[in-house]
Amino acid sequence: MARSARSYQREADQLRASGWTYRQIASHWQQRYAFNPRVAFRLAHGLTQADVAQRWNEQWPDADAPKTAKQISYWEIWPGPAGRAPSLDTLNRLAFLYRCSAGELLGGEDHSHLDTVDVRPARSNHYAGGSAEGLTTGALPPVVAALTRVTERLVDDFEILTDTYRLIDYREGSGRVSADIAAHLRRMLELSNRTTTSRTYHRLLRAAGDAAQLAGWLAIDAQRYDQAEGYCRLAASLAEKTNDRALHAYSLGVMSYIHLHAGDGKAALGVLDAAQGLAGRGSPAALRSWLHEATGEAYGLLGQPRPGLVALAQAERVFDGVEVNSSPVWLGFYNADCHAARLKGRCLIRLRRPRDATRALYEALTLLPPTFVRERSGTLIDLAVAYMQMDQVEQACDAASQAYTLACRTGSERNRKRLRELLVDLMPWTNIDSVQSLYRQVLLN
């Protein structure tokens, strides 16, 4: 069910009360909900398209050609085939209404990493809100040490901070936020005996559980698997204390990836069976779909394609029931079509269905926002593996080269290791120019 503009306005009002600017809210929602910037800025103000048209007509009246909601819609869906490109004058006027700059409404791809001078934003003592744009981990505020009571408002701030770390991880990699999320988690646990009500206590434990599972993912990306397992067990324990079966199942699902990365399909299946038993039918569809997909991967590692394909079919069937607003923020990542396509492609690789995998992976690359840098890198590596399974070496090298550039941006040890493993598979073709070029790129940089 689609959310109303009023619903987004309520969320924006809460963020504004916490000190966020419209720019920070819009940037955050572009990441979280995959909005284009024109939609994000409009909804940050809690406006419908008809509201924007009305404000436009009040500000710049034109009796002969008043603006309508339909025209606002045309500008918002551009560059889609049914959209219409807004002129510079249009962008300037929309920027006036949305209190931003005209350039911020254009969106598009970010190629700033191609700049030969690596300039990073200066660290600041001011909170940059929920946006990963221009945000370094040093910009995030420490929690006041002298807290004597934990209120609902403070838990809100803790949750927003966790989501901000999540966004930075997507864009800049786990190395940017690992230490910060560990300190953030520790602070919440230290304050758990200072809550004002039992409801606040349970909310704080759930918030800590979210931070713990995120810390687990970060450790997996850095290949610190023992540490990752500890974080996952902590997340599962916190979820169990609050009777949050969905978060408990999700934490076990994260743990299963430790085994999947190690190539141990049997161990992964054991954890996933327990996770699916916890999840049940009442859990969000995105969670159940993701667990089925991981199960398909595990069967692929065991060389059992038939049950693997059954699990993947279940994942797709369950995903049809996903409703964006029915899932907690920690699960929102799996609600989008781009991630469903990405996971399907990876599962099909495990099941040695490379032709089907390439179709899913190209769909994922089309849908993934440019800011999901590590996910784009991992998807390109999966694509390279699919091409290798089809003995299409040139295409594999092209995808791997793109993946390496992105892996360097986020410092993902996991993706770098996968690329080095791909070089081993390419050894029989070292006489080919593209293979030699990839070797130089990965081994000499």
Summarised one tens digit per residue, pLDDT across range 381-411 is: 999 999 999 999 999 999 999 999 988 888 8
Residue 333 lies in a domain: no
Residue at which a domain ends, from 83, 108, 133: 108
Residue-level pLDDT at 149:
83
Mean pLDDT, rounded, for 24-53: 87
Report the alpha-carbon distance of residue 265 to residue 302 in Å, rounded: 6
- Indicate the number of domains in the chain: 3
Q: How many CB atoms lie within 10 A of CB 1?
A: 7
Mean pLDDT, rounded, for 101-121: 55
Same domain, 384 and 434: yes
Whether residue 251 is predicted with pLDDT greater than 60 in this model: the reply is: yes
- Going by the DSSP 8-state scheme, the letter that residue 411 receives in this structure is T
Report which residue type is found at 298: A
Residue-level pLDDT at 87:
85
- Residue 150 φ/ψ, nearest 5 degrees: -105, 120
Residue 337 lies in a domain: no
Name which residue leads in pLDDT, 5 or 90. 90
Give percent of the chain above pLDDT 90: 43
Residue 394 lies in a domain: yes
Report the alpha-carbon distance of residue 153 to residue 168 in Å, rounded: 23
Same domain, 129 and 103: no
pLDDT per residue over 270-307, tens digit each? Answer: 999 999 999 887 788 889 999 999 999 999 999 999 99
Residue 199 lies in a domain: yes
Residue-level pLDDT at 141:
39
Give the C-alpha distances (Å, rounded to integers) separating 131 from 24, 163, 169.
5, 9, 12
Residue-level pLDDT at 329:
74
Report the alpha-carbon distance of residue 336 to residue 111 in Å, rounded: 24
pTM of the full structure: 0.64
C-alpha R_g of the chain: 23
Q: Is 408 exposed, middle or buried (0-12, 13-18, 19+ CB in 10 A)?
A: middle
Same domain, 374 and 401: yes
Same domain, 236 and 135: yes
Same domain, 357 and 418: yes
Report the alpha-carbon distance of residue 342 to residue 339 in Å, rounded: 5
Range(s) of the domain holding residue 149: 125-243
Whether residue 64 is predicted with pLDDT greater than 70 in this model: the reply is: yes
Residue 267 lies in a domain: no
Q: Does residue 235 contact residue 247 with C-beta atoms inside 8 Å? A: yes
Same domain, 93 and 135: no
Residue-level pLDDT at 415:
86
Mean pLDDT, rounded, for 3-21: 76
Residue-level pLDDT at 9:
80
